Amino acid sequence: MFSRESLVELLFVGFSLIIIALLGNGALTDWTASLAVFLGFFHAQLSFDLADESDSHSDIDSDSSTALRYIFVLKESVWIVTFLMLNSYPLLFGAIIFMTYPVWRKRVREMMAVENNGEFLQ
């Protein structure tokens, strides 16, 4: 079900959110916000995987996957403004991760695809 790339991305986001929640005021809302961000990230990750699969099939219209990516970034931009106004740092961090995901996802997957004797190059 999970590729190595997906697992690395999920671990990065999960550990980052734990650190932010620990460094925050420790309120229950920080922890629930972090969980919501993590689950939202997982959902977005699966959406992008499906969009990539549709792009690889020439008989499927790729306009939808392109629209998915643009609307995704636009939505996260609006959330960033909202979370800044609320001073909700776990959610703000999550929105920044989401907004930049199309860019760093491509980079992580390129890096993970390059192998040298079973070791990942950095």
122 residues of the chain, pLDDT tens digit each: 567 888 888 999 999 989 888 887 777 878 888 888 888 888 888 888 887 777 666 555 667 667 777 777 787 788 888 888 888 887 888 888 878 888 888 888 888 777 544 454 44
Tell me what pLDDT residue 121 has: 44
Query: Which residue range is the domain that position 76 belongs to?
Result: 4-114
* 82, part of any domain: yes
* 122, part of any domain: no
* 12, part of any domain: yes
* 56, part of any domain: yes
Tell me what pLDDT residue 15 has: 94
Number of domain units in the chain: 1
* 121, part of any domain: no
* 24, part of any domain: yes
* 88, part of any domain: yes
Query: Looking up tokens 């950095």, which residue turns up?
Result: 122
Tell me what pLDDT residue 43 has: 83
- Give Cα separations from 93 to 31, 34, 113 (angstroms): 13, 9, 27
- Give Cα separations from 17 to 88, 98, 114 (angstroms): 12, 13, 28
